[in-house]
Every structure is written in C-alpha cells, then in structure tokens.
Amino acid sequence: MKILVLNASPKGKNSTTLYTSLYLQAIHPEHEFTIVNVGQKIKSYETDFAPLRAELEKADLLLFSYPVYTFIAPYQLHRLMELIKADGVDLSGKYATQITTSKHFYDVTAHRYIEENCFDLGLKVVRGLSADMEDLLCEKGQREARDFFNQLIFSCEHNQLAVPPVKAPAREKTVYTTSLENLPKTKEKDIVIVTNYAADDENLKNMIADFRAALPYESRIINLKDFPFAGGCLGCFGCAITGKCVYKDGFDTFLRDTIQTADAFVYAFTISDHYTHSSFKCFDDRQFCNGHRTVTHGTPIAYLISGDYRYENNLRMIIEGRSEVGGNYLCGVATDEGNTASDIRTLADSVVLALEKKLTRPANFYGVGGMKIFRDLIYVMQGLMKADHKFYKQNGIYDFPQKQKKRILQMKLVGTLIAIPSVQKKMKGQMTQYIIGPYEKVVEAAKQKLLKD
C-alpha cells in the first residue's frame, strides 16, 4: 500500500509525532511510505499546490500526523484542508487515518475535526491513533502503535470504516439583514468582538451590527484578518519561560493589551470546514504565549455564528469545552439558522446579565477533566513551564486529592466505624439523614436570611 504521511507539525522532521510513522515505516517495509512535511511547507503550497497534488493522487492511504493544538489540529493543518478543498483534487475512494500525540487534552475533538473534513473529501476514514507524547519510548506504546497499524490494514482490506456524521440538509442560505434598534450606549463596560469576516460575509457582519445595537455598552470589533500574523504557532516552547513569542509581529502584546483587557469577549465567525477560516485557528494557537494559564478566568464570553451550527456536534463541544477549561461564563450562542434577531437580542441581554450579576457556574466534566490534565502536566514540567507553575501555585490549581489529609482521615475513620457490626446496626436507616443534614442547614439558613431581609 502507498501511504502518504502528511506531517502537519510545524517542527517538520523534528516532530516527535512523526516518529510513530517512522517507527511503523521501519517495521513494515512491505508498504511504501512517503513523508511530506506539509506543516513547514504550507506557505509554499499557497503559491504552488502542484507538488502536493501529485503526491495525493499517487497515494492509497493518507495518514495525517500532527500534535494536538488548542482543541483541534495546528493552524497549518487547517490551512492545508482549505488548500486541498480549494484545489479540487479528487481523493474519493482513498483511505485516510491519523496519528496524534498530546496529553489527551481534547484529542477527541481534534480527531473528529480531521474525520469530518476527510468525509467531505470523499475519503474512507479509519479510526486513528491518539498517543501520549512519550508513548513511543516505552514497549507498551510501541505495541499499541503496532496494533494500530495491524488494525488499520485490516480495516482497509475489510472496509471497516468510521461512520460519517449526519450532514446538514441542503437549504438556501437565509439572508440576514439588520433589524434591531440601536440602544443608547454607556462606556461602563468594554465589550470586544473578535471576528474574521470577509468583505462578502454579509450575514455575519449584519449579525455583529445587530448585536452591537442591542448592547447598552460601547463595543469594539477586532478583525483577525487585519492582523499581520507572521505565521502559526511553532510549538517551540520559547514562550514557556519568558511569556514572549519568538515571532516579532507583536501578537502577544496585541493579545494582552487589546483583547484580554475587555470585560467580555464575543467571538463571531462563519462556519467553514467544520470550524471557521484558518485565520481564527492561527489566533487560537498563538495564544499559547499565555501557556496553560487561564488568565481570563471569570470573563463572560458569547458567540455569533453564521452557518449550520446545529449539525456541527464537534464544534459545539469545542465551544463548550473552551469556555469550561478557561473558566469563562458562556452566555450563549446566536446563529442565523432561525429567529436570528430575537436570538441576538437575548444573547446581548445575557451578556449584560452576566456582567452586572458577575455570574458564575461550576465547571462540568469538560472543564474539570481538562484542568486536571493541565494540572498534572504543569506540575511535572514545572522546571520548564515556570510561568505556568507560578500561576497554578498562586491560584490554587494544584488541588491534588492527596493534599486533603483531613478528609481522607475522616473517611478512614467512618469506614472503620461502619465496619463494626454494632455500629452498623445502630446506623441502619440513619446514613441518609447523616448525608443530607448539612444541606438542610443551608436551606434553613437561606429561609431565615430571607425573613430578616
């Protein structure tokens, strides 16, 4: 089988992710592997796609190799997907899979993103391999890589493929025009709207205009397509200690002084390729100059999205997960799929409510699970990620369960007592009351406070 490894890591041949493919190449000489460092060559493909088109046409199997960046794939791979689709090269009937390395922080959304775009291209998708960054260095990781490849070949031979997602039904795009009355404005709050709309993106521009009209506060727009990005994140970790990006385009200062100073963030984009234009992914990735620090924790966020959002399950998970991990209060999402003007007005009111009441909510699994991965990662890598380590210490993020000595001791004591037959008999039927007793006190205290007020 002719296997084309599309190495989307910006580190090129120095990518640790790539070494899993090199390992498979070494032990499977019966297959023909071709490796192309598409992540490093992405700018050249923008001017001349022909060399890559030739490799794509020769391949039987496309193997996307990349590190997981910011919930999905690196900007360079997003841009590659755009170029492949724009070129129109026929890939229908070929097989596709992927190999990623990460600490398993939202690797599932990254894999689904690639799968969805492969289905768009008519490829036959086989489940990929999501490995830890250091898996290949141990026998267990090497065995799992071998098992993955054996299953891959079996799946190609027997058409054991991933199930494509439900596609949005064909519908005529609804033209949205501005309709909301402009409310009087105050400068009490600063609302920043981060977008990437193009000149012909009328729906999104009109949605933004109506959202601004419905706000009682002044707001400002930042269009990412106007920022002179020198390139996507290189994964070089140059910012891990200094907090400064190796690029000299000024993005880190722009991010901190122009965007992160706002009282609320609104992200506005049109869906394309199951996310949005790659300029937004470049913005996502370059925010790694903040490391793994949740520097905007508590800031409300909202989304204005043009497109078939209801059919983009993976995108919805990314948006919710991003707010949960960042500790941001998600005010909602308004789209142009239905009663758009009403949804925009409600979203604006929700942002105002969140700001005025300083609303918070407990993190769900997306937030708790994501932060535990970061917590453990930064603790182990504190010698390198010094800024992250300092931030985590100062903000009590190192909430390891073994530090809860008092509670552990209490549970041991309770467990020891309950194991005694006489205590078991005495406590029979009383355990429920023991558990709910403290909650009853909270409710009673609330009632008494209301009476006093």
Q: Is the pLDDT of residue 433 over 90?
A: no
pLDDT at 435: 84
Q: Is the pLDDT of residue 241 over 90?
A: no
Answer yes or no: pTM beyond 0.85.
yes
| CB crowding 36-69: b at 16 or more within 10 Å, else e | bbbbbbbeebeeebeebbebbeebebbbbbbbbb
Contact criterion met (CB below 8 Å) for 209 and 305? no
Q: Residue 188 phi/psi, 5° resolution?
A: -65, -35
Domain ranges across the chain: 2-158, 186-365, 404-452
Looking at 48-194, list the stretches that DSSP marks H as alpha helix, in order from N- to C-terminal side.
Answer: 50-58, 75-87, 107-120, 139-158
Three-state DSSP class for residue 381: coil
Q: Is the pLDDT of residue 304 over 90?
A: yes
pLDDT at 170: 83
Region 176-180 average pLDDT: 93
- The span from the CA of 270 to the CA of 308, in Å, is 9
pLDDT at 173: 79
- The span from the CA of 326 to the CA of 267, in Å, is 14
Mean pLDDT lowest for which of 176-190, 239-253, 322-336?
A: 239-253
Return the structure tokens found at 422.
């006489």
3-state secondary structure 156-203: HHHCCCCCCCCCCCCCCCCCCCCCCCCCCCEEEEEEEEEECCCCCCHH
Q: Residue 384 phi/psi, 5° resolution?
A: -95, -50
Beta bridge partners of 264: 191
Q: What is the separation of C-alpha 216 from the centre of its chain, rounded to a whole number of angstroms?
A: 31
- The bridge status of strand 61-67 relative to strand 95-102 is parallel
Handedness of CA 237, 240, 244, 250 (dihedral sign): positive
Condensed to tens digits (0 to 9), the pLDDT of residues 367-385 reads 999 999 999 999 999 999 9
Q: Is the pLDDT of residue 167 over 90?
A: no
Q: Euclidean distance between the first and final Cα of the chain, in Å?
A: 76
Region 181-203 average pLDDT: 95
Per CATH, 2-158 and 186-365 having the same topology is answered yes
The CATH number assigned to the domain with range 2-158 reads: 3.40.50.360
Q: Which residue has the higher pLDDT, 418 or 144?
A: 144
CATH 3.40.50.360 fits 186-365, yes or no: yes
- What confidence tier does 56 reach under pLDDT thresholds 50, 70, 90? very high
pLDDT at 239: 87
